[in-house]
Amino acid sequence: MRRTLLAALVVAISLLAIPPWALAQKVLLNPSDQSSNPVTGGGNEAQYALINAKIAEAILDATGLDAKVDQDFLNSPKNANSWGATIFVSIHSNAGGGHGTETLYKTSGGKALAEHVQNGLLGKLPYQNRGLKLRTDLHVLNATNMFACLTEVVFHDCGKTSGYQGHPPSEAAFLKGADGQQKIGSGVAAGVCAYFNKKCSGGSVTPPGPTKGFLKGVVYKAPDMADRIPGAKVTLNTGQSTTASSTGAWSFELDPGTYTATATAPGFKPGSQTRTVEAGKDVWGSIGLDKDAAEPAPDADGDGVADASDNCPKIANIDQKDSDGDGIGDACEPPPPDVDGDGVPDAQDNCAQVANGDQQDSDKDGVGDVCEPPPADTDGDGVPDGNDNCPTIPNADQADKDADGTGNACDVPSGPDADGDGVPDLTDNCLTVANPDQMDTDHDGTGDACEQKVLDSDMDGVADATDNCPFVANPDQMDSDHDGHGDACAQPYLPGAGAPDAGAVGDGLAAGDGDGPAKPGTASGGVSGGCGVAWSRGGPGGALWAMIVAAIGCVVLRRRTAR
Amino acid sequence: MSRRRICIAVLACATCASSTALGARPEAPLLPLPWSGAGVPAPNFDRPYRIGGLQVELPDPVWAGDGLRAAPPRRLLGLAPGEHSGAAVWDRSTGAWFASVAGELVRLSPEGRLVSVASDIQGLDVDVRAGLGLAVAREDDAIVLHRFGSTGRSKSVLIAGEGYFGPRLSPDGSLVLVERSRPDGGRFLVVDLRGRARDLGPGYGAAWHPDGRHVLYAQVRHDGYRILASDLHVVDLISSRRQLVSRTSHTAEMEPAVSPDGRWLAYLDGLTGDLCVVSLPKLGGR
């Protein structure tokens, strides 16, 4: 049961897949040619069979089927085969003393057809149903390659009105009469129509013929007709269009005329066929489409260059570059030397000996950075000279206290700095007082720090510059003789010979320890050589004096030593 | 079992096995010719090699380039259900099978392809001399000549009227043998490529002899239902002389087909449906 259902489903799907045009419905009607068989009351079998066939033909044509009558017993099967008939119906009348209608078949397909024809006749004829009969010896059933049957419509030798059920007229009379002929012809047609699941039109002897024909075909990949193009669009010059079925088939029902059908499909060049359509006929206009582009040649590396012409078929090289012109693409040439193995051939490597895949060349001098000579570092402190704020003296810390761009290590020594204020004495506007700011308010070249201390060597409150006795305190400045020298300085002053302690406490001068006369040879500074006299800083006058005194003292001492 | 019976059994079996074959390849396989062996008497109409039990629906002997088949390919690969095509024909000019499919003339490639060689072939019943760029087709009620290939594309009606069918080109392609179905009995005729016809009289199943000069045909007796008897005849197109080829009482010789070398004649026994083969007497010499 399940198998039956499945089979039915498959058949149903198959039928759905068949486009209507594919079911060519050509009917060959073969009336008996047995003119030697007389019909009771006049005429012969062939004569009336032909009439019946013609009536059926007209009805079938009017219904839209393509019917043809061929009375040649021997050749009608071949004619039907050659024509491509869908079914073959042979129309005979019986003899031998029986009554009624019977239809003969050979194959199962023929039996189905025979059943429809028999039923069609029984619907019109008032005679006995003799049923369907299998026959394997009939030429028309043996020589046809489509479903076929042979019907014996009535008994032409039955002239009695007391035929089956006693209905008049007799079967022979029925066969001869126009009414009977119309019923027989329409009965055969009705059976054929039913076989094709159609309703026969009219029944009139002269029904209107078909007014349209079919233009049909398939779309295929030229030149192989077995290779169809489902979904191809087929358009007529009238603007009508349709889509090819899953089998590439298409069809138009058209008024008679000449039409051009054009098929298009993605990837194919359009193709056209021009055909003339006739009413009631099928005309074929199958269309083979050529591929839009030539079949792509083998291209193993997919670089768009066919292998046959690719100078390097296994390695994609769209540019086909062949630098040495040897016919072998660069891509296929043996790998060029690459000593450092960085992937850059030596010939192109900006540093062939050292791997530098990035080919960095910061100074763009053509020599990769990794191949540049190491930067100069004269002092070897790890800081290249170019960046070293003191390239000649190791100073890895690059300290630059004065932020003058020169490292501390390289800051040029500027000589003594007595007051330690960072300003060399040579440029210090105040040597004795630390004044890093070198402020000099009155711009007199002397720093403010030094301006505030007026030299007063004898501490008598009178500055040395105006003191009439600068080294002997004489606050009163008594100068009795008005010679410019204070009375306190009336005696010549010999330093070191009972002279007032130059280094007296509070005089502001450091002489020796500062609290007593300096002992010879114990100078803590100043001129060496045994003349250890500490000279105070003072005005030029004082210095001059000190120098003179010192010179005299040295001469005396040397003479005494010499004795 | 005699050698002959063995051979016949082999042939029948091979034919049975082929009955379900579809496609571009011939439905019926080549039928080997065991009688050609030494010591085997040549078959004749009284004692033909008879190949019975053929499972093809319509035995229709055909000689292809490589031997005899019980029938030409009738069903082709690549067609949709319900899509009709004509039976294939063997083209001796190209050594290939051709057929009409959906308005195209196709060559059946060994790979099963249907290679279109010409379009606008409206009929199913065709014959081809592709090497000459010629095809003929029965198209409804006319026999149409198609020229294609290097000779250019054209079609012209050779003869028109109801009942013309079965156009077959002569071996050299200069004439077309046509049959006609008529209420008073079939006839056959030859038509040249300009459409000039010559009625050769009543006859059934006319076929070319490979010499292109003789045509074989059957004269059949029947009762309107069944074949009663049939004999083969030959007509010489030059002399118009007719000659009886076979006269047997036990066989209805029909559908003659002569081998390309002219040595063998295959035919259908209309009484049994068997395929028979005989050694063909030389024609025209008597």
- Rounded to an integer, the average pLDDT of A400-419 is 78
Closest-approach residue (CA) in chain A for B126: A82
Set of chain B residues whose Cβ sits within 8 Å of the Cβ of A249: 80, 83, 102
Q: Do A141 and A274 sit in the same domain of this protein? A: no
Yes or no, beta carbons of B224 and A79 under 8 Å apart = no
Q: Do A176 and A251 sit in the same domain of this protein? A: no
Confidence band for A71, pLDDT divided at 50, 70 and 90 = very high
Q: Do A243 and A273 sit in the same domain of this protein? A: yes
- Rounded to an integer, the average pLDDT of A266-272 is 93
Radius of gyration of chain B (CA): 19
* DSSP letter, residue B131: G
- Comparing CA positions, the residue from A540, A493, A497 lying closest to residue A520 is A497
State residue A178's pLDDT score.
92
Q: The dihedral of CA A434, A439, A442, A446: what is its sign? A: positive
Yes or no, beta carbons of B122 and A33 under 8 Å apart = no
- Rounded to an integer, the average pLDDT of A548-563 is 51
Strand ranges, E, within B78-124: 89-91, 96-101, 104-108, 114-119
Out of A79, A217, A285, closest to residue B181 by CB: A79
* Residue B183 in contact with partner chain A when CB distance is under 8 A: yes
- Rounded to an integer, the average pLDDT of A516-540 is 35
- Please name every residue paired with A14 in a beta bridge, in sequence order, or none if there are none: none
Yes or no, beta carbons of B115 and A225 under 8 Å apart = yes
Range name among A25-29, A233-237, A299-303, B255-259 with the lowest pLDDT average: A299-303
- Comparing CA positions, the residue from B202, B207, B200 lying closest to residue B267 is B207
Out of B103, B114, B273, closest to residue A284 by CB: B103
Set of chain A residues whose Cβ sits within 8 Å of the Cβ of B124: 82-84
Distances (CA, A) of B223 to A40, A46, A136, A312: 19, 13, 15, 80
CB A198 within 8 A of CB A63: yes
Set of chain A residues whose Cβ sits within 8 Å of the Cβ of B87: 81
Q: In chain B, what are the helix, strand and coil shares in percent, each to the nearest 5?
A: 10, 45, 45
Yes or no, beta carbons of A73 and B182 under 8 Å apart = no
* Residue A493 in contact with partner chain B when CB distance is under 8 A: no
Q: Do A183 and A217 sit in the same domain of this protein? A: no
To the nearest whole Å, the CA of B101 is away from the closest chain A CA by 8
Tokens of A248: 């590439």
Q: Do A75 and A185 sit in the same domain of this protein? A: yes
- Please name every residue paired with A44 in a beta bridge, in sequence order, or none if there are none: A38
Question: Cα(B143)–Cα(B134) distance, rounded to whole angstroms?
Answer: 13
Residue A399 lies in a domain: no
**Residue A141 belongs to domain with CATH number:** 3.40.630.40
- Rounded to an integer, the average pLDDT of A225-252 is 93
Q: Is the pLDDT confidence value at A469 over 50?
A: yes
Query: Tens digit of pLDDT for each residue in A325-343?
Result: 888 888 888 877 888 888 8
Residue A531 lies in a domain: no
Yes or no, beta carbons of B226 and A137 under 8 Å apart = yes
Q: Is the pLDDT confidence value at A533 over 50?
A: no
**Residue A258 C-alpha from the chain's centroid:** 49
- Rounded to an integer, the average pLDDT of A452-474 is 79
Higher pLDDT, B134 or A498: B134
Closest-approach residue (CA) in chain A for B77: A226
Q: Is the pLDDT confidence value at A498 over 50?
A: no
Residue A525 lies in a domain: no
Q: Do A175 and A239 sit in the same domain of this protein? A: no
Yes or no, beta carbons of A34 and B74 under 8 Å apart = no
Domain boundary among A289, A312, A342: A289
Out of A17, A81, A275, closest to residue B81 by CB: A17
Confidence band for A237, pLDDT divided at 50, 70 and 90 = very high
How would you class A288 by CB atoms within 10 Å of its CB: exposed for 0-12, middle for 13-18, buried for 19 or more? buried
Query: Tens digit of pLDDT for each residue in A33-59?
Result: 999 999 988 999 999 999 999 999 999
Please state, rounded to an integer, the average pLDDT across all residues of chain A: 80
Higher pLDDT, B198 or A452: B198
State residue A138's pLDDT score.
94
Question: In which element (H, E) is residue A176 found?
Answer: helix A171-176
Yes or no, beta carbons of A22 and B84 under 8 Å apart = yes
Q: Is the pLDDT confidence value at A91 over 70?
A: yes
Set of chain A residues whose Cβ sits within 8 Å of the Cβ of B58: 81, 143, 145
State residue A202's pLDDT score.
63
- Rounded to an integer, the average pLDDT of A486-509 is 48
Share of chain A above pLDDT 90, in %: 36
Residue A262 lies in a domain: yes
CB A217 within 8 A of CB A232: no
DSSP B176-225: EEEEE--TT--EEEEEETT--EEEEEE-EEEEE-TTSSEEEEEEEEE-SS
- Chain A interface mutation, best of B56, B76, B83, B109, highest count of A Cβ atoms under 10 Å: B83
Question: Cα(A525)–Cα(B72) distance, rounded to whole angstroms?
Answer: 143
Q: Do A344 and A258 sit in the same domain of this protein? A: no
- Rounded to an integer, the average pLDDT of A217-242 is 93
Closest-approach residue (CA) in chain A for B163: A79
Residue written as token pair 């083979």: A288
Query: Tens digit of pLDDT for each residue in A156-211?
Result: 988 776 555 556 678 888 999 999 999 999 999 999 999 999 888 765 445 556 78
Confidence band for A558, pLDDT divided at 50, 70 and 90 = low
Yes or no, beta carbons of A70 and B181 under 8 Å apart = yes
- Rounded to an integer, the average pLDDT of A354-383 is 87
Q: Do A183 and A232 sit in the same domain of this protein? A: no
Out of A17, A75, A92, closest to residue B80 by CB: A17
Q: Is the pLDDT confidence value at A153 over 90?
A: yes
* Residue B80 in contact with partner chain A when CB distance is under 8 A: yes
Question: Cα(A500)–Cα(A303) distance, rounded to whole angstroms?
Answer: 114
Tokens of B166: 């079965």
> What angle separates helix A108-122 from helix A178-195, to the nearest 10 degrees?
140
Question: Cα(B286)–Cα(B284) distance, rounded to whole angstroms?
Answer: 6
State residue A80's pLDDT score.
96
Set of chain B residues whose Cβ sits within 8 Å of the Cβ of A34: 223-224
Those residues with Cβ within 8 angstroms of residue A371's Cβ, 6 or more apart along the chain or in another chain: A350, A351, A353, A354, A356
Question: Cα(A187)–Cα(A177) distance, rounded to whole angstroms?
Answer: 15
Those residues with Cβ within 8 angstroms of residue A466's Cβ, 6 or more apart along the chain or in another chain: none
Per-residue confidence in pLDDT tens, chain B, 286 aa:
343 433 333 333 333 333 222 234 445 556 656 555 556 667 788 888 888 777 777 788 999 877 888 888 877 777 776 676 888 999 988 999 999 999 999 998 887 889 999 999 999 999 999 999 999 999 989 999 999 987 678 999 999 999 999 999 999 999 999 999 998 889 999 999 999 999 999 999 999 999 999 999 999 999 999 999 999 999 999 999 999 998 888 899 999 999 998 888 999 999 988 899 998 877 654 3
Q: Is the pLDDT confidence value at A97 over 70?
A: yes
- Rounded to an integer, the average pLDDT of A443-453 is 77
CB B104 within 8 A of CB A286: yes
Yes or no, beta carbons of A84 and B86 under 8 Å apart = yes
State residue A414's pLDDT score.
61
Out of A22, A76, A78, closest to residue B166 by CB: A78
Residue A159 lies in a domain: yes
Length of chain B: 286
Q: Is the pLDDT confidence value at A495 over 70?
A: no
CB A493 within 8 A of CB A472: yes
State residue B37's pLDDT score.
54
Confidence band for A514, pLDDT divided at 50, 70 and 90 = very low
Residue type, A372: E
Residue A140 lies in a domain: yes
Those residues with Cβ within 8 angstroms of residue A266's Cβ, 6 or more apart along the chain or in another chain: none
Between residues 33 and 72 of chain A, which touch chain B (CB distance below 8 Å)?
33-34, 37, 46, 50, 68, 70-72
**Residue B192 C-alpha from the chain's centroid:** 19
φ, ψ for residue A8 (rounded to 5)?
-65, -40
Q: Do A261 and A121 sit in the same domain of this protein? A: no
Residue A34 lies in a domain: yes
State residue A494's pLDDT score.
43
Range name among A332-346, A364-378, A516-530 with the lowest pLDDT average: A516-530
Residue A162 lies in a domain: yes
Domain boundary among A289, A319, A352: A289
State residue A135's pLDDT score.
95
Q: Do A115 and A57 sit in the same domain of this protein? A: yes
Closest-approach residue (CA) in chain B for A67: B140
Residue type, A352: A
Range name among A3-12, A439-448, A463-472, B198-207 with the lowest pLDDT average: A3-12
Yes or no, beta carbons of B224 and A84 under 8 Å apart = no
Residue type, A189: A
State residue B198's pLDDT score.
96
**Residue A274 belongs to domain with CATH number:** 2.60.40.1120
State residue B24's pLDDT score.
45
Tokens of A51: 């009439």
Domain boundary among A238, A264, A289: A289
Q: Do A218 and A263 sit in the same domain of this protein? A: yes
Between residues 85 and 124 of chain B, which touch chain A (CB distance below 8 Å)?
86-87, 101-104, 106, 112-117, 119-124
- Chain B interface mutation, best of A68, A74, A289, highest count of B Cβ atoms under 10 Å: A74
Q: Do A226 and A276 sit in the same domain of this protein? A: yes
Between residues 233 and 252 of chain A, which touch chain B (CB distance below 8 Å)?
245, 247-249
pTM score of the predicted model: 0.63
ipTM score of the complex?
Answer: 0.87
| Structural domains in chain A (count) | 3
The residue segments making up the domain with residue A226 are 213-289
